[in-house]
Amino acid sequence: MSGSKPDSLALTRRGLLGSALAAGPVVAKPRLDWAQIAAQYDVTTEAIQLENGNWGMMARPVLAAYERHLRRVNRETSFYSRRGYGADLDRVRIRAAASLGVMPDEIAFTRGATEALQALIGGYNRLRPGDCVLYSDHDYDAMQTAMRWLKTRRQVDVISINLPQPATYQGLIEAYEAALTAHPKVRLILLTLVSHRNGLVLPVAEITAMAKAKGVDVILDSAHAWGQLDFQLPDLGADFVGLNGHKWIGAPVGVGILYIRRSRIRDIDPFMGEDQTPPNDVRARVHTGTSNMAAYLALNEALDFHEAIGVKAKAQRLTALHRAWSEPLRSVAGVEVLSPTDPRLFSAIGAFRLSGRTSDTENIALARRLLDQFGIFTVYRTGLAGGACVRVTPALFTSEPDVLKLATAVRVIAAG
């Protein structure tokens, strides 16, 4: 990376991105300078980093803001936390709610989507003994565990389905419709908007509408969606959602959000009889204890950076990087690309494996070879019904040459 590295930059379109975004509305345009945007990240030189799904790197202006907030919290300690922090956090809450298209009193901060979703699944109180709950092989492991736990917690039956591969838009809707027809006692579904395993984007709005028509509620895992897909929560129809700010929004690690539609608040129990806030307050549904105050405060600057680029531009850039490596590999003998071709089902995240190599061991070895032989860092994923795979996740700092090197490396490996 070239150029100076100031401690902080003005969080404006010009300050963040230079003249490329200095004028006009913040939308995806050809003049967006992605190299200039990439220069706002201090990226490791030890490998080509194509495993950005775990959590997202803060851009330099966000990191500077985080450090500034951290110094203040560390300097003022309880003098700040007991006097000024609450009002400052309320302002960030208002900002985050606006980004999601909901009201501030419908969201609460958590330490991540996992904590939010566990609170929603564990607190959902409309289940009765003999009811059923449903999840799929694409859902996150910890969320599958939480759904299975409901068998003990609520005395319900747990149904698991495998989503079709290759996936089609209508085929995914029909898979859930068939499951609800086969299991009419299902009362709750877990859906994942963007799968952490292979990046599949579910047609959540359609599935949720179909489920609601049958009297079935949806808890939505949006850990990987906020910040890389263009949506607002009301568009999706789900009344209960868990989200991450530290993946595609680019906030510090430890920033998540729990959403409950205002009219549904009583359907989620307060956390362990939480009585520190009014029982109708969404914040009573989770108790994080003493949290990283600086991280929550820096969400404001992360949203500044995110909005200066624009979610449409981000989505187009990230999916273009995905296609740059995945499309050339679709015609390579011995390679199976798991990413759908339908743009409605497509995200930044993609996955592949060598044909017939579906075991955990084989894909662990494949990811290791990509790193050891080619200097490309990816991660293997397990849990899909069709077998294990290698996940590839670019970021805003990723360049076209980076993903083309991946495609070349996979060709070499597939050729034997």
Of 412, 331, 415, 323, nearest to 370 (Cα)? 412
Nearest to 294 by CA among 79, 84, 111, 70: 70
Question: Is pLDDT of 344 > 80?
Answer: yes
Q: Report whether 191 contacts 220 (CB < 8 A).
A: yes
Cis upstream peptide for 234 (omega within 30°): no
The per-residue pLDDT for 23 is 35
The whole-number average pLDDT for the span 365-393 is 98
The pLDDT tens digits for 209-237 are: 999 999 999 999 999 999 999 999 999 99
Inter-residue contact 224 to 139 (CB < 8 Å):
no
Residue-wise pLDDT tens digits, 75-101: 999 999 999 999 999 999 999 999 999
Residue 363 has pLDDT above 90, yes or no: yes
CATH class of the structural domain 72-303: alpha beta
- If one compares 240 and 6, the residue with the highest pLDDT of the two is 240
Residue ranges of alpha helices (H) inside 283-359 are 293-309, 311-329
Instruction: Give dist(CA 65, CA 45) in Å, integer.
Output: 24
User: Does 15 or 104 have the greater pLDDT score?
Assistant: 104
What pLDDT shows up at residue 13? Answer: 53
Mean pLDDT of 156-180: 97
The residue ranges of every structural domain in the chain are 72-303, 312-414
Q: For 29-55, what is each residue's pLDDT tens digit? A: 446 899 999 999 999 999 999 999 999
How many other CB atoms are there within 10 angstroms of residue 127's CB atom?
Answer: 17
Find out whether 277 and 265 touch, Cβ atoms under 8 Å. no
Which CATH architecture best describes the domain 312-414? Alpha-Beta Complex (3.90)
Q: Residue 17's pLDDT is what?
A: 52
Percent of the chain topping pLDDT 90: 89
Average pLDDT over residues 293-313: 98
Looking at residue 278, what is its pLDDT? 76
pLDDT above 70 (res 4): no
pLDDT tens digits, one per residue of 185-203 = 999 999 999 999 999 999 9
Structure confidence at residue 160 (pLDDT):
98
Q: In what order do the strands lie in the sheet with 350-354?
A: 335-337, 350-354, 389-392, 379-381
Q: What is the pLDDT of residue 276?
A: 63
Per DSSP bridges, beta strands 376-377 and 48-49 are parallel
Output 182 or 28, whichever has higher pLDDT. Answer: 182
Instruction: Report the pLDDT value the prediction gives residue 55, as an integer from 0 to 100.
Output: 96
Query: What b/e readout covers 95-112, taking b as 16+ CB neighbours within 10 angstroms?
Result: ebbebbebebebbbbbbb
* Residue 244 DSSP one-character state: E
Q: Does 382 score more than 60 pLDDT? A: yes
pLDDT tens, position by position, 262-273: 999 999 999 987
